[in-house]
Structure formats: structure tokens, C-alpha cells
Chains A and B, each alone.
Chain A
Amino acid sequence: MSLFLAVTVGVAMGIVFGFALEKSRVFEPGIIVGQMQLRNFIMLKIFLTAVATGAVVLAILNGFGYVKLQPKAAAYGADIVGGLLLGAGISLAGACPGTTLAQVGAGYRDALFTVAGGLFGAITFSYAQPALANTFLGQNAPKLVFTSLVGVPYWTGALVLVALIIVVLVTLETWSPWTSELGNDVDGDLPGVPSPAKRPLHARPAE
């Protein structure tokens, strides 16, 4: 595929992705921080639904031999250290690397600082990468998939994952319906928290 076509496909897919992130409100700092403080589960619901949908799609495409799987290396040191940092960053930024772009599009000004910090972080890693590559933070590891470890076809494991996710989602939704997690201004800012600080930052007098 030509570069031009790949970029066109990318923009079109991104617009759909950005639309779904905005409409689902999962790009909201209130939803993301709320998830990490275990008081709002919209993020987990979308995440697990998207994972299950992806698993059904891949069970079909891979099961019938149309596509190869693209798993990443099982580099445990890098996965654990990187994952912990990534998670800390998600809470402080109130965003993931993708959702922060949706925040920019929807008009959150602080997201511009998240993107700038993110570029700076990626550049810093780029300079450090040659030194890290041969340490425990390197990516030199086999690409392991659970189903090949057990010795069954991918699609069977994918369907087991989908079944598990459905059970978790039904339980979550029964316990905490999504409509109760949106907040007054669909930003995950839930009522009932006694605080004088409900007004937006820019509406307050300058200090």
C-alpha cells in the first residue's frame, strides 16, 4: 500500500476512533482518574468491550487464515517497569497517549501540555534506547501467546476470553449502570461530593 493511501486510511480510522472516544466520554479526565480511584468504571467497560470485539474479529480473521497475529515480545522487565510508569502517567495526565489527542480536539487546554510532555518523553527514551536495549528493560524476548503455550488454536482461546469478559461486564453493569457514571456535564464529575470547588478553573478570580 502506498504511503498516501496508508495516511488516508489512518486519518479516516482516527476520525472514527476520536468520535467513539468523545461520544463514550472515556477521554474525560474525570472518567480516567475516576477509574483509577475505583469510583467510575466507564473506562474499564469500554476497554473490555473493545478487547472482546477485537478478539471476535481476530478469531475470525486469524481462524480462517486471512491475517497473522501481531503480538509484542514478552519482555517482562520492560513490561512491568514501563507499565507501572505508563499507569502513573495516565493518572497524572488524566489521559492515555491516544485519548490525550481526543482531549486536544474537544478543547481541553492542559492536553497540549500532556502532548508536549509526551513528545519529550518519547525523545528522551529514543536517546536512551541503545543503552537500555541490552539490559532487563530491553525488548529481546520471544513473542508468547497464551494459546500457543497451551497448544490450542488462537480462536478457541479468544472465544474463552470473550465469554469471561461478557460475565465481567454484565456483573459490572448490574452493580454500577453506565448512565449513573456520566456526571452532570458528561465529564465524569459526579454529584454528591461536597466541595466548594465545583466551579471550573477559569471561572474563578485570578489569584
Chain B
Amino acid sequence: MLTRKAWSPYFAGIVIGLLQIPAFLLIETALGTSSSYVTVGGVVTSWIDPSILKIDYVARHVAATGKNWWQVALVFGIAVGAFLSMRLSGAKRHAVSPIWQRALGSPSPARRYAVAFLGGFILLLGARIADGCTSGHGLSGVAQLAVGSTVAVAAMFVGGIATAMLLLRRI
């Protein structure tokens, strides 16, 4: 099981959905990942510009609360878990997925890195404006039948499909 390269999406989806049990019971929060970027970004920026901690939004995110640092630990764990899973199955990856050469119409790693940086910037800018990402609004918000999250997820797919169809080439 642990050495397989691919699980059924239905089995994996159930495993991910069950993570709501410890999230709600132990941390009293729903599964989410994008707040951790504010926590880590706020701490790193405060080394250069301590005044960022005077912004209430940042102060709330970097505070030494279980909820804040639980989420930072969660995203760190995601990288560890994916690494262990990849090592167990031997599904090694190239430096850049082969699909990008077609999607971007160029084999240049530098171009891919630039698009990845820009994509990451828009990704978190959008997630923070919406106050949640694919996990917080998507997995948790839709499961809770939250009206705002349902609107955010619909907008997310509209933005994603439009961008992939218009700006990227067919993969």
C-alpha cells in the first residue's frame, strides 16, 4: 500500500476528508493551509521591518497560538509526507514536470521558474483576499455548506479554467 505509486482518488479523498476529525476535535478549526504563509511571511519580514507586527492582521497570525503554528506545522508535514511517500514508491520527479514545456511553449527552466513565482504570488494574494484557499474554502467551507466558500470555489474554478485555456497551451 505505502509502496504503491498511485492510490485511487476516492481512497485518498477519504483519507484527506477524515483529517477534519482531529482538526475540529483537537485544534477547534477546519483544515486549511494559506494562513500559514501570513504567519511565516510576517515573521520573516519582521526581521527586516519590525513595524509589520503593528498591523493587527499580521499580529493575529504570528501570535504564539496553537491554531497559527498548528497550520505552519501542517504545511511542513505535507512536504515531509510527500517526500516519504515518493521515497517509498520510487516515483522520482524531474526538476520540472514535462507538461510545462508544452503548457508554456518553451523548454527554458528560467521561464518556468518566473511563471511559478508569479503564479505563487497571485495564488496567495487571491487566497488571502478571499480568506481561504482550496483547503479552507474548498474542502472545509463547501463541506460546511458555507455560502461564501461556495462562491469562492466557483470563482476559483472560473479563474483557473479561463487562465489554463487562454494563457497556457494545451498540455
Interface residues of A (CB under 8 A from B): 1-3, 5-30, 33-39, 42, 45-58, 61, 66-76, 78-111, 113-127, 129-130, 132-133, 137, 139, 141, 143-147, 149, 154, 157-158, 161, 169, 178, 182, 185-189, 193, 195, 197-204, 207
A52 touching B78, Cβ below 8 Å: no
The 10 A-B residue pairs with the shortest CB-CB distance in the complex, in nearest-first order: A14-B77, A53-B17, A18-B81, A49-B13, A82-B130, A87-B159, A83-B155, A117-B120, A85-B126, A10-B73
Q: How far is the CB of B24 from chain A (nearest CB, A)?
A: 4
Given A82-B126, A100-B120, A157-B145: A127 and B78 interface contact (C-beta under 8 Å): no
26 contacts between A and B (CB under 8 A): A6-B67, A7-B69, A10-B73, A10-B74, A26-B12, A30-B97, A37-B170, A53-B14, A55-B143, A57-B24, A72-B137, A76-B151, A81-B130, A82-B155, A91-B160, A92-B167, A98-B34, A98-B75, A104-B79, A105-B78, A105-B79, A129-B128, A141-B148, A146-B150, A161-B142, A186-B91
Total number of B residues with any Cβ neighbor in A under 8 Å: 141
Contacts of A88 in B (CB 8 A): 122, 126, 159-160, 162-163
Most A Cβ at <10 Å: residue of B67, B85, B150: B85
Q: How far is the CA of A199 from the CA of B123 in the complex (A)?
A: 28
A16 touching B129, Cβ below 8 Å: no
Report whether over half of chain A's contact residues are helix, strand or loop; otherwise say mixed.
helix
Contacts of B115 in A (CB 8 A): 92
B12 touching A23, Cβ below 8 Å: yes
Contacts of A1 in B (CB 8 A): 26-27, 66
A200 touching B98, Cβ below 8 Å: yes
Contacts of A29 in B (CB 8 A): 97, 99-100
Q: How far is the CB of A86 from chain B (nearest CB, A)?
A: 3
Contacts of B80 in A (CB 8 A): 11, 14-15, 18, 105
Q: How far is the CA of A89 from the CA of B107 in the complex (A)?
A: 21
Contacts of B108 in A (CB 8 A): 201, 207
Given A17-B16, A58-B24, A69-B144: A89 and B79 interface contact (C-beta under 8 Å): no
A71 touching B146, Cβ below 8 Å: yes
Contacts of B171 in A (CB 8 A): 30, 33-34, 37, 39, 189, 193
Q: How far is the CA of A129 from the CA of B52 in the complex (A)?
A: 11
Interface set, chain B 32-65, CB cutoff 8 A to A: 33-34, 37-38, 40-42, 44-45, 52, 55-58, 61, 64-65
Which of A19, A72, A141 sits near B82, CB closer than 8 Å?
A19
Contacts of B23 in A (CB 8 A): 13
B77 touching A13, Cβ below 8 Å: yes
A89 touching B122, Cβ below 8 Å: yes
Given A70-B144, A88-B126: A178 and B9 interface contact (C-beta under 8 Å): yes
Q: How far is the CA of A133 from the CA of B9 in the complex (A)?
A: 38
A201 touching B128, Cβ below 8 Å: no
B6 touching A45, Cβ below 8 Å: no
A91 touching B167, Cβ below 8 Å: yes
Which of A7, A101, A129 sits near B57, CB closer than 8 Å?
A129
Interface string of B78-95 (1 = CB under 8 A from A): 111111111001011111
A90 touching B156, Cβ below 8 Å: yes
Given A6-B67, A23-B7, A143-B146: A125 and B92 interface contact (C-beta under 8 Å): no
A84 touching B147, Cβ below 8 Å: no
